[in-house]
Structures are given as structure tokens and as C-alpha cells.
Amino acid sequence: MFSALATGSTCEGRFARTGLLAVLAGSWGSVVFENANDAILAAPFFVLTILATATLADELHTQARRPSPDGARRWQRTDTAIVVILVGLAAISAAGMALRPFTAPEQSAGASFAALYLVLAGYFGWKRRATLARS
């Protein structure tokens, strides 16, 4: 893949893709732990979870490195939307675990995805600020 900076192109922020990939990764990840005793059923969902998570990380990296469409070095609304989506999904995951009883593997998966979303939101913010400072 080519990053937006490497190709010299400008692209608008894509927060909907980020939200979709994060929801898919979390949904498929929960299915893996619901069927942990059935390896044949869990394996495809495990692969889908890994692919969605890797694609989400790549999308965040690409979005963080994109140049501002108007050339101004400032935080865009789509940047805020991406962070809000990730932090919101982390909060929903944590609240869901607090309000409903889950098995131990499901609790660890929920906590892991909540932590992953927070780490990805922090990474995106850090990388985006560094990109804006360089441009």
C-alpha cells in the first residue's frame, strides 16, 4: 500500500471506515470466545478478527499521515470523529462488561478490545499531531 504522503495525494478523512473496522474486529473477536471449544468454528472468526484489526491499524496509520485538504496544519473534524469513535467503543465495551455477566474468556476479550481501542486512539492522536507539525 502507498501512504497519502508517499503518493502526494490528498484525501478526506474517513471516520466511517474506522468505525466499521473497529466494530467488525470486536464482533468477530467475541464470536471466537463464544466458540472457544470448537476449533473448526472459531478458526475462521479468529482469522477475520486478525485481518480486521490489522486493517484498522493500517487505516488509522494512513489517516494519521494524510495531509490536510486545505494545506492548513490543524486538527480536522474527521480526526476528532475517529478518536471519539474509538474511545466510545472502548467505553461501550467496558460498560457492557460491567452491566452483564460474562465468562472469564469473554471478559478478557472485552477488556482487551477496550484497551486496544484506547491504545489505537492514542496512537492516532500522537501520529496525527506529529504529521501536522511536520507539514
DSSP state, residue 71: S
Asked whether residue 94 is domain-assigned, the answer is: yes
Asked whether residue 63 is domain-assigned, the answer is: yes
**Domain residues for 38?**
14-134
Residue 10 has pLDDT above 50, yes or no: no
What is the model's pLDDT at position 1? 44
Asked whether residue 1 is domain-assigned, the answer is: no
Asked whether residue 38 is domain-assigned, the answer is: yes
Asked whether residue 5 is domain-assigned, the answer is: no
Asked whether residue 6 is domain-assigned, the answer is: no
Instruction: Tell me the average pLDDT across 4-28.
Output: 73
Q: State how many domains the chain has.
A: 1
13-45 exposure pattern, b = at least 16 Cβ within 10 A, e = fewer:
bbbebbbbbbebbbebbbbbbeeeeeeeebeeb
Band of the pLDDT at 3, cuts 50, 70, 90?
Answer: very low
Asked whether residue 56 is domain-assigned, the answer is: yes
Band of the pLDDT at 126, cuts 50, 70, 90?
Answer: very high
Q: What is the mean pLDDT of the chain?
A: 85
Asked whether residue 109 is domain-assigned, the answer is: yes
State how far the Cα of 99 lies from the Cα of 58, in Å rounded to an integer: 32
